[in-house]
A and B are shown apart, each in its own frame.
Chain A
Amino acid sequence: MPPVIEVRELTKRYSNSKTNAVDGISFSVAGGEFFTLLGPNGAGKTTTISILTTTLTPTTGSARIAGYDLVKEAGAVRRNAGIIFQKPSLDLNLTAEENVRFHAVVYGLYPFRPTFSLMPKAYKQQITELAEILSLKDDIFKPIKTFSGGMKRKLEIIRSLIHQPKVLFLDEPTVGLDPASRRNLWEYIKRVRRESGTTVFLTTHYLDEAEDADTICIISKGKIVAYGPPEAVKARLIEKYLLIDASDKNRLRTELKQLNIPYSETPLFKISLNGTPTVHQLLKAIDTPLTTVKTHNPSLEDAYLAIVEE
């Protein structure tokens, strides 16, 4: 199966900037995959998502969504994408149903009718189902401003799915939600994935939200700094090692070679602890008088911060 999202050497430099906001990134996302673009604020996440959703033209590079070229076939890309923006995209003075109806008409699913009762039967059916899923009942005909933050987000997600997009883009969807709503929303997104099989493209700066992803892609200053399944990225991130040094560097070098301990000079001697030897075993084995001994054992959070601040 061809990838649903394919990004090649994508670069964006804003016209008033001297550096690239997105700097030659490439990745691909398979159908049904849960892909997370992780990075701090200003890393280029929103720029990337804006390019992939056709509101911004890349400076160089190319991308295909659902097989369509982003620049040449923007209309087809739009039809195949659903987007949850960072900022709420609901009209507060309008009812939930009106917000959904306007979306459906703009996406060409139904003809426009000024009231709900004049809309086609299929649409009414869909709204009834939708109200049931959200357990909204008649509240669906109430103005959005009476809804809670979490409920608004859910409504946006459900709305973005009614044109059955191949990819659902979620741009930091939990920003501003309290922990309970956040968890609740995640359970809902999981359910959506399970039931619709939609590919999900998430951007976030919360590490914990990335843990359920099939693939994590960490970007910093517009460049990809880590990429792969969460376990692999974690393993790479949480690199435990020992740093040692001696005044007689040559002797230490020879000894480490004799003991068959792999090392690198950084310029301190760096020995990985992800394998079998423990710090204790290592130190016991070395006879050369050491001047420095340091262990490096970061938490996932530390490692993430270190990698994005590099």
Chain B
Amino acid sequence: MHEANAITVIAYRDLLKFLRDPPRLVSTLIFPLIFIGILGGSFQSSLGDQVDFNYLTFIFTGILAQTLFQSSAIGVISLIEDRENDFSQEIFVAPVSRYSIIIGKIFGETFVSMAQGLGILVFAVIIGIQVSLTQALVLIPVCWIVCFFGGAFGVIIMSNLNSQRAANQVFPFIMLPQFFLAGIFAPINNLPWFLNLLSLISPMRYAVDFVRAVLYKGSPDYSQVVINNAAINFIIIAVLFGLFLIVGTFLFVHRERNR
């Protein structure tokens, strides 16, 4: 019970800090909106004729998954810096399991990412992307899973880094290739074999494909846009999640105490 309380308080604190920080609220929404509104819009008008599916919707689904995944990952990685700052210092000397700290942090960053996801969804509807109420409701658990997955990915990255500086330097190299390998901006059906190999080991690919598999269900574009069906993506995500979380937390605690 104590551990459950600790997890809740760690997560709640994260969300509260986010909500009390209006500049951060705004800034976290800017990039996804630029990508969807400007990049998606210009792709749609220049390249839209050459593909048989709606480009704007394609990019929206990609960016939604990418934002949730990346935001949760970054949030969890910030523990590296946090543990030497503000209340997080207290959390690390408190009588709670290290697993609870990490799980609480993942929950907290999931709430934060979900708030961002909601912003993206509202924006998508405003610029005319078709999202039905059923789709929006289905998106809730789907987005939740993507956030958890991103959080666990953050744990495994964090467990291999010593400092926030290292994280800031390494993170773009880990994330940027995945933007393309996960097929956010362009389909990855016909990649050359070596890029396909790299794509297969990009965790973000499964997050993006999962969101699309659910959202494009029943749509005529499904076969052109989606690679694996939702169930396969979910299984891959579940396995990787468990692996990242357990191995990552173990390594993190070990490194942390045996500096």
Dominant secondary structure of chain B at its interface with chain A: helix
Instruction: Looking at the assembled complex, report how far the CB atom of A19 sits from the nearest CB atom of chain B, in whole angstroms.
Output: 15
Q: Indicate if the CB atoms of A107 and B259 lie closer than 8 Å.
A: no
How many residues of chain A are within 8 Å of chain B by beta carbon? Answer: 34
Q: Roughly how many angstroms separate A88 CA and B258 CA in the complex, as a whole number? A: 24
Name the A residues within 8 Å of B78 (CB-CB): none
Q: How many pairs of A and B residues are in contact by the CB < 8 Å rule?
A: 84
Interface pick from B10-18, B135-143, B165-173:
B10-18
The 8 Å CB contact of B95, one of A57, A78, A91, A92, is A78
The 8 Å CB contact of B16, one of A15, A53, A79, A94, is A94
Q: Roughly how many angstroms separate A259 CA and B86 CA in the complex, as a whole number? A: 65
Instruction: Looking at the assembled complex, report how far the CB atom of A223 sits from the nearest CB atom of chain B, in whole angstroms.
Output: 20
Interface pick from A96-104, A263-271, A281-289:
A96-104
The 8 Å CB contact of B89, one of A14, A57, A78, A87, is A87
Interface pick from A108-116, A191-199, A244-252, A295-303:
A108-116
Q: A93-B20, A93-B21, A105-B5 are contacts. A81–B89 as well, Cβ < 8 Å?
A: no
- Nearest CB to that of B18 among chain A residues? A93
Name the A residues within 8 Å of B259 (CB-CB): 14-15, 56
Q: Indicate if the CB atoms of A89 and B90 lie closer than 8 Å.
A: yes
Q: Indicate if the CB atoms of A91 and B93 lie closer than 8 Å.
A: no
A224 close to chain B: CB less than 8 A? no
Name the B residues within 8 Å of A55 (CB-CB): 92-93, 256-257
Q: Roughly how many angstroms separate A55 CA and B89 CA in the complex, as a whole number? A: 10
Instruction: Looking at the assembled complex, report how far the CB atom of B218 sits from the nearest CB atom of chain A, in whole angstroms.
Output: 39
Q: Roughly how many angstroms separate A112 CA and B107 CA in the complex, as a whole number? A: 15
Q: Indicate if the CB atoms of B17 and A108 lie closer than 8 Å.
A: no
**Chain B interface residues toward A at CB < 8 A:** 1-2, 5-6, 8-10, 12-13, 16-17, 20-21, 84-96, 256-259
Across the A-B interface, give the 3 residue pairs with the lowest CB-CB distance, nearest first: A78-B95, A93-B20, A108-B2
Known contacts A53-B93, A55-B257; can you find 5 more A-B pairs with CB under 8 A? Answer: A78-B95, A89-B90, A91-B86, A93-B17, A111-B5
**Chain A interface residues toward B at CB < 8 A:** 14-15, 53-57, 75-76, 78-79, 81, 83, 85, 87-94, 98-99, 102-103, 105-108, 111-112, 114, 143
